[in-house]
Amino acid sequence: MFASFMINAWEAATIVAIVAGVVGFFTVLRGEAFAAHSLPNGAFAGAAGAFLIGANTIVGLGVFSLAGAGMIAGLGRRARSDVATALTIVLMLALGDLFLSRTSEYAPEIFALLFGEVLGVSTSKLGPTAVIAAVCIASVIALYRPLMLSSVTPEVAEARGINPRVMDLAFLVVVALVTTMAVPVVGSLLIFSLLIGPPAAARSFTSRPLVAMGLSVLFALVTVWVAIAVSYESNLPIGFFVGAISAFAYTVGRAWTAWQQSRGRKVAR
When asked if residue 89 is in the footprint of another protein (CB under 8 A), the reply is: yes
Contact region for another protein (CB under 8 A) — 61-69, 97-105, 122-130, 212-220?
Answer: 97-105
Q: What share of the chain is helix, strand, coil (3-state, %, to 5)?
A: 85, 0, 15
Q: How far is the CB of 9 from another protein (least distance, A)?
A: 17
Q: Which of 22, 100, 176, 213 binds another protein (CB under 8 A)?
A: 100
CB of 47 to another protein, least distance (A): 14
3-state secondary structure 108-160: HHHHHHHHCCHHHCCHHHHHHHHHHHHHHHHHHHHHHHHHHHHHHCHHHHHHC
Closest CA to 70 of 39, 26, 113, 30: 39
CB 19 within 8 A of CB 177: no
Cα distance between residue 130 and residue 68, in whole Å: 23
Q: Are 63 and 52 in contact (CB under 8 A)?
A: no
Considering the rule CB under 8 A, would residue 83 count as an interface residue with another protein?
yes
Minimum gap (Å) between residue 131 Cβ and another protein? 27
Name the minimum Å distance from CB 154 to another protein: 12
* CA–CA dist 135, 137 (Å, integer): 6
Regarding 25 and contact with another protein (CB under 8 A), the answer is: no
Question: 3, 4, 54, 108: which one contacts another protein (CB under 8 A)?
Answer: 108
**Per CB under 8 A, 180 contacts another protein:** no
Binding-site ranges for another protein (CB under 8 A): 28, 30-31, 33-34, 36-37, 78-80, 82-83, 85-87, 89-91, 93-95, 97-98, 100-102, 107-108, 110-111, 114-115, 189, 192-193, 196-197, 200, 236-237, 239-244, 246-247, 250, 254
